[in-house]
Amino acid sequence: MNKIGIVGAGNVGATTAQRVAERELAREVVLLDVAEGIPQGKGLDMAESAPVERFDTRITGTNNPDALADSDLVVITAGIARKPGMSRDDLLATNADIVGAVSENVQRVAPNAIVIVVSNPLDVMAYVALKKTGFPAHRVVGMAGILDSARYRYFIAETLDVSVEDVTAFVLGGHGDSMVPLPRYTSVAGIPLIELLDQTSIDALVQRTRAGGAEIVGHLKTGSAYYAPASATTEMVAAIAHDKKRILPCAAYLTGQYGLNNVYVGVPVKLGANGVESIIEIGLTPEETAALKHSADDVHENIAKLSF
């Protein structure tokens, strides 16, 4: 991949830029932010780490949206972060304006780019980006399920005192309190989770996963998570840059899949050079289907609060 733009030089955007550069996922990384000096300073600092970390990706920081021109992929992290007592939905109006403006700039200067949306509330912001860019849906995807699944997998590994590498799990639905972890599709080295933990313990893990972001916000006080979100975003960038055809839980635009329409929610997708190359429908129980619909309804309600 030749060029990746990352919009938002805060903690998530800057950490993503660093990881993308260190893995040499593109020849050039452009870090864009409205705050004067911040992207330039962070970009230069990262660039000066290149001789030590041994990467040749060029990193530049800028305040000029035109610098995104001809990007192959753009990651949108811009927006205000959560503070204690705030839900992701509390960010709705402010971040919709920010993501909308960013998306219009992307459409103007990088009309062939794939867009990964990270800003919260994630599923609604992906919808905003879709409408404001006018791109086909397979080129606008949200980062959510990988992060939620990573948290779920970590909590499982911690509880069982096993390696995180052996834990496989999916979390579907919206990136919020109504997300849908799926214990039936969760295993440790191929062993179903339900054979390793009782239902009470599994329910506790599911609830902690749903509150995983708020737990970190509660500790930080003045910000929200960024190391794990940056790792999850970088995994998506790598799948696209290397055309790996990874099966990953991402926020995708549904047009009838799972019985849902005109909404972004987390589902398993095949992620490759063309973005979302297919949406994979897995079998769900009536209870799981109802939970996924409830999660999608929450996203619909927030979309309805915006005007397009």
* pLDDT (tens digit per residue) in 20-47: 999 999 999 999 999 999 999 999 999 9
Tell me, what DSSP letter sits at residue 267? E
Answer yes or no: is pLDDT of 48 > 80: yes
Catalytic: 242? no
* pLDDT (tens digit per residue) in 150-177: 999 999 999 999 999 999 998 888 777 7
Tell me what the pLDDT averaged over the chain comes to. Answer: 92
How confident is residue 89, by pLDDT bands cut at 50, 70 and 90? low
CB atoms within 10 A of CB 270: 18
Instruction: Please report the pLDDT score of residue 19 as a whole number.
Output: 97
How confident is residue 211, by pLDDT bands cut at 50, 70 and 90? confident
Are 8 and 16 spatial neighbours (Cβ–Cβ below 8 Å)?
no
Instruction: Please report the pLDDT score of residue 91 as a whole number.
Output: 77
The fold adopted by the segment(s) 145-304 is L-2-Hydroxyisocaproate Dehydrogenase; Chain A, domain 2 (3.90.110)
Closest CA to 140 of 157, 119, 158, 166: 119
Instruction: Please report the pLDDT score of residue 87 as a whole number.
Output: 62
The domain spans of the chain are 3-142, 145-304
Q: How many angstroms separate the Cα of 308 from the Cα of each of 14, 128, 220?
A: 30, 9, 35
Measured in residues, the chain has a length of 308
List the catalytic residue out of 138, 175, 219, 300.
175
Provide mean pLDDT across the span 92-99: 90
Instruction: Please report the pLDDT score of residue 10 as a whole number.
Output: 94
* pLDDT (tens digit per residue) in 104-127: 999 999 999 999 999 988 999 999
Q: How many angstroms separate the Cα of 133 from the Cα of each of 103, 251, 298?
A: 5, 17, 23
Q: What is the model's pTM?
A: 0.93
Answer yes or no: is pLDDT of 225 > 80: yes
CATH of the domain spanning 3-142 = 3.40.50.720
Are 304 and 125 spatial neighbours (Cβ–Cβ below 8 Å)?
no
